[in-house]
Structure 1
Amino acid sequence: MSTQQPVTLLCLASYEKGAAFLREAKAQGARVIFVTVEKLRDADWPWEAIDEVYYVPDFSNEDDVLHSISYLARAEKIDRIVPLDEFDLYNAAMLREHLRLPGMGQTAVRYFRDKLAMRMKARDAGIRVPDFVPVINYDDIRAFMDRCPRPWILKPRSEASAIGIKKIHAPEVLWRTLDELGDRQSHFLMEQFVPGDVYHIDSLVSNGDVVFAEAHRYANAPFDVMHGGGIFASRTLDRNGDESATCRALNKQLVQDFGMHHGAVHTEFIRGRDDGDFYFLETAARVGGAHIAEMVEASTGINLWAQWARIEVQRARNDAYELPEQKQDYAGIIISLARQEHPDLSAYQEAIAWKMEKKHHAGLIVRADSQQRVDALLHEYMTRFYEDFHTSMPAPETSDDA
């Protein structure tokens, strides 16, 4: 099998991310066609890795996207369509089905995008999930509130991270909120609130097998950070510990049962504080956000974006994918909104693997050869972040507000 077989990737990007994917795809010899939105025309894209670029006003009009890419396909032989952001998954699936290209179609992709579909799929696969109900039938909702203790969580089915999530403490608050949502309410679900620690597993999948997986634990649940104004932090779990083993096993089962064949996966579980059980929260067919990829690379040497690109190109050529040798270090990340426009992180020097450069944000990654050392550094640096930089702002209601 020749590795010189020409491969053309069409990459969709609603947000500025995936530069390492684009660079590695080009390094692997692929032709890279890039489609993004007008507002990101001047973003810091790796132009040297992009062969053709096209701009759309936005990706919200499915017919416009379909017609535009179909017109492009008259002259371009597209082999794979890659969504670089979670919000591009539906369009990528729609285009694959219309153009009859390999990859997840519209039904399969719902398990990685629609929080109701993924919960039902996980429950059917025997994976424990918090009790939930779709916001569809009012009798079902009343039954849910009767059997499930307060508070309840109201979640958008297709937003990312903790965006748009509300904690509901009383039935009258729920009904008032649903009235405000109007016809949009069927795009939500209600879920049992399970207090506990939240874990995330960041993995790579090739030919249906999980070829790489790193388990991590957030210092604070993403919901608490976004809605409570805290500091975002996460770190590598002890690879020989029971928590890591459980997370990896659950992630492997989920990938197989959900029908994921190739790509990157970010999955979250919560360990109930009251019973110690792990519950599925959500999964996404993408690289984790909030610079989790940089943390994974710091601890393992594996760049999730670059390896995802290699998987896509090599499967298009029918070549076997091999994961590079990985390190066994540990890493942790801290990110906070900052009072200063350009926070000065020069006083943070010990074990630093990466520092964030973004207005009104302070962030860093630490790396060490033991989990204990990373934990100690995160504790020290988080305390100092609150004193040196931390501020907060109201949580966004939708991704457009983020």
Structure 2
Amino acid sequence: MQNTKTILVLASQFKGVPLIEEFHKLGCLVLLLCAEKTRCEAWPTHAITEQFYMPKLNVFPDILHAVSHLARSYNIDRIIGVDDFDVEVAARLREHLRTPGMGDTTARYFRDKLAMRVLASDEGLAVPDFVHLLNDDKVNHYLSTVPGPWVLKPRSEAGAVGIKKIHTAQDLWRYSEELGDKRSYYLLERFLPGEVFHVDSIVFEGKVVFARASRYRVPPFSVWNEGGVFSTLSLPETDPLAQEMIEFNARLVHSMHLARGITHTEFIRADIDGKLYFLEMAARVGGAHLDLHVEACSGINLWREWAHLELAYLLGERYQCPEPRHDHSALLICLAREEHPDLSGFDAPEVVWRMKRAFHAGLVLNSQDPARIDELERVYRKRLQTEFLKA
């Protein structure tokens, strides 16, 4: 047991089960520290050495004290945060315990929407015009020179959470007054209509070793603000736009100094000029079951590969990503009116996963034919909207 590695997994949400199972399969001791609200979830207890709960994982110094106490009994080799908020907490814990991995400075680039935009802009990468909601003169200059509408974004929320669309300067200053001393935690960005895309990738020793590009048919921002069926489709790997995004993603990984891990990056192709613009990047597996979407088109399970690359680094070995498949896939998810919606009527052979979660309906589609995926996604999205979507 001398060479057995101990992994501490932080989970403020119920996610990362394949990661935990893979670490266990690889012979690691897995400690799970999760939020109290996840106590009744189906955690893989067979793969967990010890499991601990706290009311919230992002309360300092409570989390520092708790993990430091845990470290008296376990030599913690790696700390993994599975959710957006856990990434930041894990970084602070690594700094405190001097555990290898991404520290506060690098983590800030992946959690702070302002920091990541400043860095990308400094590197000459295209980002929508933005301004920190801090200095009145700079904000007024921005409002007078950058055409609206704009989006007001919290710097550290996950995904589309807390984003507001702003149409006039008066609206902006009204929201600013409501925010009070919290306004410095926000930025204002030009709203660019267009198609939204994402790239999900694996990084080892600073290089992207796997990447797959997809197009949101209905992006998270639209679902968050207007409701509807969330949907994304993989892009053919030969698509010039997919190749451009994957190259863009690789430049971002290099700029943000990520040594190893999983990334989820979002872009928009603006209607106004057809250019790709960077929106945000996260150092984690994408949410909303995007891991299943990526696995359906490539055969690559991002959670399991995360475990493999972390252990490879700890053992001083070279990580080798499996050879991916070259299929096509789509993911559809919505809130459902019924507690347990019956999805058996979605019976096309391309359906490879049906969601089993109360008051949710979801599907993953897989085929070697991109046209079939495109057709079926349109049909099933309409059916989910009319048959199951919660108003």
TM normalised by structure 1 equals 0.95
Aligned residues of 2:58 and 2:85 also touching (Cα < 8 A): no
| Residue 266 to residue 293, structure 1, CA distance change in 2 (3 Å) | same
* Equivalent-residue separation in structure 1 for 2:106 and 2:384 (angstroms): 42
Deviation string 1:271-311 (CA, Å, 9 cap, x unpaired) is 00110100000000000011110011111111100000111
2:31 is paired with a residue whose SS is strand
Deviation string 1:213-251 (CA, Å, 9 cap, x unpaired) is 000000023211110112100010011011110110000
Deviation string 1:339-361 (CA, Å, 9 cap, x unpaired) is 22211111111110100111121
Alignment match of 1:235 (pick from 217, 233, 236): 233
Aligned Cα root-mean-square deviation (Å): 1.2
Q: How does 1:35-54 map to 2 (within 5 A)?
A: 35-54=33-52
Name the residue aligned to 1:150: 148
Name the residue aligned to 2:200: 202
Q: Compute the displacement of 1:4 (Å).
A: 8.3
| 1:330 maps onto 2:328 in alignment | yes
1:118 is paired with a residue whose SS is helix
Q: Compute the displacement of 1:41 (Å).
A: 1.7
Q: How does 1:240-251 map to 2 (within 5 A)?
A: 240-251=238-249
* Equivalent-residue separation in structure 2 for 1:60 and 1:334 (angstroms): 31
Name the residue aligned to 1:305: 303
Q: Which residue identity does 1:100 align to in structure 2?
A: R
* Equivalent-residue separation in structure 1 for 2:75 and 2:216 (angstroms): 43
* Equivalent-residue separation in structure 2 for 1:4 and 1:246 (angstroms): 46
2:165 is paired with a residue whose SS is strand
Q: Which residue identity does 2:291 align to in structure 1?
A: A
Q: Compute the displacement of 1:179 (Å).
A: 1.1
Looking at both structures, which has the greater relative contact order when contacts are Cα pairs under 8 Å and sequence separation is at least 6?
Answer: 1
2:61 is paired with a residue whose SS is helix
| 1:372 maps onto 2:371 in alignment | yes
Name the residue aligned to 1:398: none
Q: Which residue identity does 1:185 align to in structure 2?
A: R
Name the residue aligned to 2:96: 98
Name the residue aligned to 1:191: 189
In the alignment of these two chains, the number of paired residues is: 390
Name the residue aligned to 1:384: 383
Aligned residues of 1:112 and 1:284 also touching (Cα < 8 A): yes
Aligned residues of 2:153 and 2:163 also touching (Cα < 8 A): yes
Alignment match of 1:345 (pick from 343, 346, 362): 343
Q: Which residue identity does 1:355 align to in structure 2?
A: R
Aligned residues of 1:7 and 1:317 also touching (Cα < 8 A): no
Q: Compute the displacement of 1:389 (Å).
A: 1.1
Q: How does 1:3-402 map to 2 (within 5 A)?
A: 5-350=3-348, 351-392=350-391
Q: Compute the displacement of 1:328 (Å).
A: 1.0
* Equivalent-residue separation in structure 1 for 2:40 and 2:33 (angstroms): 13
Deviation string 1:312-370 (CA, Å, 9 cap, x unpaired) is 11111111111112211100011111122211111111110100111121110111102
Aligned residues of 2:229 and 2:333 also touching (Cα < 8 A): yes
TM normalised by structure 2 equals 0.98
Aligned residues of 2:333 and 2:363 also touching (Cα < 8 A): yes
* Equivalent-residue separation in structure 2 for 1:313 and 1:391 (angstroms): 43
Q: Compute the displacement of 1:60 (Å).
A: 2.9
1:62 is paired with a residue whose SS is coil
Deviation string 1:98-123 (CA, Å, 9 cap, x unpaired) is 11111111111011000000000111
* Equivalent-residue separation in structure 2 for 1:255 and 1:261 (angstroms): 8
* Equivalent-residue separation in structure 1 for 2:58 and 2:135 (angstroms): 28
Identity of aligned residues (%): 46
Structure 1 unaligned residues grouped into runs of 5+: 393-402
Aligned residues of 1:134 and 1:190 also touching (Cα < 8 A): yes
Q: Which residue identity does 1:335 align to in structure 2?
A: I
Q: Which residue identity does 1:387 align to in structure 2?
A: T
